[in-house]
Chain A
């Protein structure tokens, strides 16, 4: 006797993959927008932080394009925060809440789940970044001179692919962590803002320091975007836009490939060592 009705239709293969991606991105695309307080906490408050650095530049008599650098850098910090807290630390949060074991048990691929998180997070953060740039530009009279719109789109897209690939990679590593995950994510904020040149042209760090910082995709992405949208941008750039794009494309491939391999390895390790459901607070 059948206990349950037979499955008439089930998704497998790429359909299951796509369904998982859409399902995991749904809370971030739709759910997060339902709570209206995001307008205050995710736009207004970061704008205050950006404003502080703008006024520092004005207090020391910086050229006006540096104000634009700060506004752009401030908007891009939203992506880094999203990668840190909603990607890298996410599997740790899922473990704490008990969802991780359910993900493993389900037929959905962990890669699809992480990709869904990335897609949803990128969309939600993009809204916030656009709002910060728009409001910041209006408040501080920032003017833009776009050298090439398509190159700008390409640089931004490659930066995001590489950045979220890095996020997926680190999500795998964070799976093995416990309470230290929160502290390590917290530690990776100001040093990355410094190394990536969020608020100043990164070439002022010196060639080798800027080169080392380029493993964070935002470094080259932000540098290239500044060269494309500000009149004096090319004189303050670290590498040419084309070189930056090539490196970002390489980073995208490396991070995504490594994320896939690392996730499989870490998942096996976590299952073997019983870390999927531990709660070592």
Chain B
């Protein structure tokens, strides 16, 4: 019974999340929206790089930043997808209290609502990769991609991001103002510290430990190694670590963050119920 409640919560929420994400407009405008945003984001970096290096797209640093930026799209997508649900259901649709009294597992419900953003994020990632391979000589050779490492890393990474989103959802339950910023703002912060678009060596020494603590750093490194092993090896950040070691670090750090997320969410959830915040309306 418990298992079916969790799966039912997850799959129903996934369907609901997709309906909300996609039914605000016709398919053409939705497709345009899903294409233009990620390509514009990548375009900024491509132009910045092209201006300074006169278009040297064969350099390993370009592949490094392009791939990092492409996959980093999952971070705000999943973080916001899970945490923003609280704002949507509490403030906009005013259904959060009904969700709470329904036979629904709330964390699984939140994960399910994040699936739609994961799917739209995936569109962005695929399009960005396609544009890079077709037009910018990103050295992606499908025949040498380490697919088992790629899928394992992706699975672990998405689960890790979903749990981080759960942590933010817990915080969102407790705050009113600026809570709509939380997912995107945290993602912006991680953008700087996780080596997404530049190697960690570029950061000042005192800031690098932040990157070493975050599991996203290892996730991105493993994605690059799985897709373009030679590129990742060109940068000294993690050359002393093998793929297996990086996977273990990713697993352990994700576990730590995951346990923290579950603890924080349960605590915030309890506090929100005690203080009557589940159905508060703050006009956001």
Contact surface of A with B, Cβ cutoff 8 Å: 35, 37-38, 41, 45-46, 48-49, 51-53, 55-62, 66, 96-97, 178-180, 183, 186-187, 189-191, 193-194, 198-201, 204-205, 281
Tell me whether B52 and A194 are in contact (CB under 8 A): no
- Report yes or no: B177 in contact with A35, Cβ–Cβ below 8 A: yes
In the complex, chain A residues whose CB is within 8 Å of the CB of B29:
180
A60 to B65, CA, bound (A): 10
Using an 8 Å CB-CB cutoff, how does the interface string of B136-171 with A read, 1 for contact, 0 for none?
000000000000000000000000000000000000
Could you tell me if B191 and A191 are in contact, using CB atoms closer than 8 angstroms?
Answer: no
Contact A187 B199 (CB under 8 A): no
Q: A57-B52, A180-B25 are in contact. Are A281 and B93 (CB under 8 A)?
A: yes
Which residues of chain B are near A178, meaning CB under 8 Å?
24
Q: Is A190 touching B47 in the complex (CB atoms < 8 A)?
A: no
Give A122 Cβ to nearest chain B Cβ, in Å: 21
Which of A48, A60, A97, A200 has its CB near the most chain B CB atoms (within 10 A)?
A60
- Among A55, A66, A193, point to the contact of B203 (Cβ < 8 A): A55
CB-based contact A60/B24 at 8 Å: no
Q: B37, B51, B199 — which one has the most chain A CB atoms within 10 A of its CB?
A: B51
Task: Please report the total number of B residues contacting A with Cβ < 8 Å.
Answer: 37
Chain B residue numbers with a CB within 8 Å of A56 are 45, 48-49, 65, 197-198
Q: Please determine whether A187 and B33 come into contact, CB atoms closer than 8 angstroms.
A: yes
| Residues 224-251 (chain B) with a chain A CB within 8 angstroms | none
Determine how close the nearest CB of chain B comes to the CB of A40; give it in whole angstroms. 8
Please give the distance in Å from A204's CB to the nearest CB on chain B.
5
Ranked 4 nearest A-B pairs via Cβ: A190-B40, A59-B198, A191-B40, A62-B52
Please state if B47 and A204 are interface contacts (CB–CB under 8 Å). Answer: yes
| B45-67 with Cβ < 8 A to chain A | 45, 47-53, 61, 65
User: A200 contacts which of B51, B197, B203 (Cβ < 8 Å)?
Assistant: B51
Question: Can you list 24 A-B contacts (CB < 8 A)?
Answer: A37-B177, A45-B181, A46-B188, A48-B189, A49-B191, A51-B192, A52-B192, A52-B196, A52-B197, A53-B48, A55-B197, A55-B198, A56-B48, A56-B198, A59-B65, A60-B49, A180-B25, A187-B33, A187-B36, A191-B40, A193-B40, A194-B40, A200-B44, A200-B47
Tell me how far the C-beta of B260 lies from the nearest C-beta in chain A, rounded to whole angstroms.
Answer: 21
Query: Bound complex: CA of A189 vs CA of B29, how far in Å?
Result: 16
Report the Cα distance A189→B36, complex, angstroms. 10
CA separation between A38 and B181, bound complex, in Å? 11
Q: Are B198 and A45 in contact (CB under 8 A)?
A: no
CA of A147 to CA of B181, assembled, Å: 38
Is A45 a contact partner of B185 (Cβ separation < 8 A)? yes
Question: Complex: how many Å from CA A183 to CA B22?
Answer: 10
Closest-by-CB residue of A relative to B56 is A60
Contacts A35-B177, A60-B49 given; 14 further ones with Cβ under 8 A? A35-B178, A45-B189, A52-B192, A52-B198, A61-B53, A178-B24, A187-B36, A190-B40, A191-B36, A198-B44, A199-B44, A199-B48, A200-B48, A204-B50
Q: A198: which B residues are within 8 A, CB to CB? A: 44
Q: Is the interface of B mostly helix, strand, loop or mixed?
A: helix
Could you give, for residues 25-44 of chain B, a 1 whenever the CB lies within 8 Å of some chain A CB and a 0 otherwise?
Answer: 10001000100110011011
Contact with A along B73-117 (1 / 0, CB 8 A): 000000000000000000011000000000000000000000000
Q: Which of B168-188 contact A (CB under 8 A)?
A: 177-178, 181, 185, 188
B51 with A201: CB separation less than 8 A: yes
Chain A residues whose CB sits within 8 angstroms of the CB of B283 once the complex forms: 97
In the complex, what distance in Å separates the CA atom of A204 from the CA atom of B51? 7
Cβ–Cβ contact A41 & B181, under 8 A: yes
Residues of chain B with a CB closer than 8 A to A204's CB: 47, 50-51
B1 interface residue (CB < 8 Å to A): no
Instruction: Assess the A60–B61 pair: CB atoms within 8 A.
Output: yes
Residues of B within 8 A of A179 (CB): 24
| Measured CA separation A198–B36 after assembly (Å) | 17
The answer to whether B202 has its CB under 8 Å from any CB of chain A is: yes
Query: Which residues of the partner chain A approach B37 to less than 8 Å between Cβ atoms?
Result: 186-187, 189-191
Contacting pair B25 A194 (CB below 8 A) = no
The interface residues of chain B lying within 8 Å CB-to-CB of A194 are: 40, 43-44, 47
Q: In the complex, what residues of B have CB within 8 A of residue A180's CB? A: 24-25, 29
Q: In the complex the two chains form, what is the Cα distance from A96 to B181 in whole Å?
A: 20
Chain A residue numbers with a CB within 8 Å of B202 are 55, 58-59
Residue from the list B24, B33, B48, B50 in contact with A57, Cβ < 8 A: B48
Residues of A within 8 A of B40 (CB): 190-191, 193-194
- A residues less than 8 Å from B197 (CB atoms): 52, 55-56
In the complex formed, the residue of A with least CB distance to B200 is: A55
Collect the chain A residues with CB atoms within 8 Å of residue B181's CB: 41, 45
Which residues on the A side are within 8 Å of B49 (C-beta)? 56, 60
> Once bound together, how far apart are the Cα atoms of A71 and B97, in whole Å?
43
Q: For the complex, give the distance between the alpha carbons of A45 and B189 in Å.
A: 7
Give Cα A45–Cα B187 distance, bound, in whole angstroms.
10
User: What A residues does B41 contact at CB under 8 A?
Assistant: 190
Chain B: CB-nearest residue to A203: B51
Given contacts A97-B283, A281-B92, contact A190 B25 (CB under 8 A): no
